[in-house]
A and B are shown apart, each in its own frame.
Chain A
Amino acid sequence: MGRMWRSLKLGLKSLILHKLRSSLTILGIVFGVAAVIAMLAIGEGSKRDAQERFQQLGATNIIYRSVKPTEENQASGGGGRMILNYGLKYSDLDRLLATVPTIKKALPIREVRKEIRFLNRRIDGRVVGTTADYADFNYLKLARGRFLKESDNENFENYAVLASEVAQTLFPYEDPLNKSVRIGMDFYKVIGVTQERAGTAAIGGSLAAQEYNKDVYIPLNTCRLRFGERIIENRSGSRSAEETQLTQITMQVGSIEEVRPSADVIKAAIHPFHTKKKDVDIVVPLQLIEEAERTARIWSAVLASIAAISLLVGGIGIMNIMLATVTERTREIGIRRALGAKRRDITEQFLIESVVLSGVGGIIGVLFGVGLPFIIDQVLHAMRTAITPSSILVSFCISVAVGVLFGLYPARRAALMDPIDALRHE
Chain B
Amino acid sequence: MTSVPGPNGGKPIVALGEIKKTYVMGGHGGKKDTTGPVIVHALRGVTVDFYPGEYVAIMGSSGSGKSTMLNLLGCLDRPTSGQYVLGDQDISRLDDNELSEIRSRYIGFIFQSYNLIQQYTVLENIELPLTYQGNGSISQADRERAMQLARMVGLGDRTDHRPNQLSGGQQQRVAIARSLINDPYIILADEATGNLDSVTSAEIMAMLERLNDSGKTIIMVTHEDDIAAHAKRIIRMKDGMIVEDGPSARMRRLLDEQGANGPSLEDDEVARRVALALDASGTVE
Contact = CB atoms under 8 A, between A and B. Distances in A.
Interface of A: 1-3, 6, 10, 13-14, 17, 331-332, 334-345, 419-420, 423
Contacts of A420: 71, 76-77
A340 B119 contact: no
15 contacts: A1-B137, A2-B137, A3-B136, A6-B136, A13-B119, A331-B115, A336-B117, A339-B104, A339-B128, A339-B132, A340-B103, A340-B133, A340-B182, A345-B136, A419-B76
A2 B76 contact: no
B119 A343 contact: no
Given A2-B138, A14-B119, A419-B76, A338 B103 contact: yes
Interface in B106-165: 109, 111, 115-119, 128-129, 131-133, 135-138
Given A339-B103, A340-B103, A423 B131 contact: no
A335 B115 contact: yes
Nearest to A4: B136
Given A2-B138, A338-B115, 20 more contacts: A2-B135, A3-B132, A3-B136, A10-B119, A14-B119, A332-B117, A336-B117, A337-B76, A337-B103, A339-B104, A339-B128, A339-B129, A340-B104, A340-B129, A340-B132, A340-B182, A343-B97, A344-B97, A420-B71, A423-B76
B200 interface: no
Contacts of B49: none
Contacts of B71: 420
B210 to A, nearest CB: 23
Interface in B88-116: 96-97, 100-101, 103-105, 109, 111, 115-116
B74 interface: yes
B138 A342 contact: no
Interface in B42-96: 71, 74, 76-77, 96
B131 A3 contact: yes
Nearest to A13: B119
A423 B74 CA distance: 13
Given A339-B104, A339-B109, A343-B97, A423 B133 contact: no
Contacts of A2: 131, 135-138
Contact of B96 (A3, A338, A339, A343): A343
Nearest to A6: B131
Contacts of B178: 339
Contact of B132 (A14, A17, A342): A342
Contacts of A419: 76
Contacts of A13: 119
A336 B138 contact: no
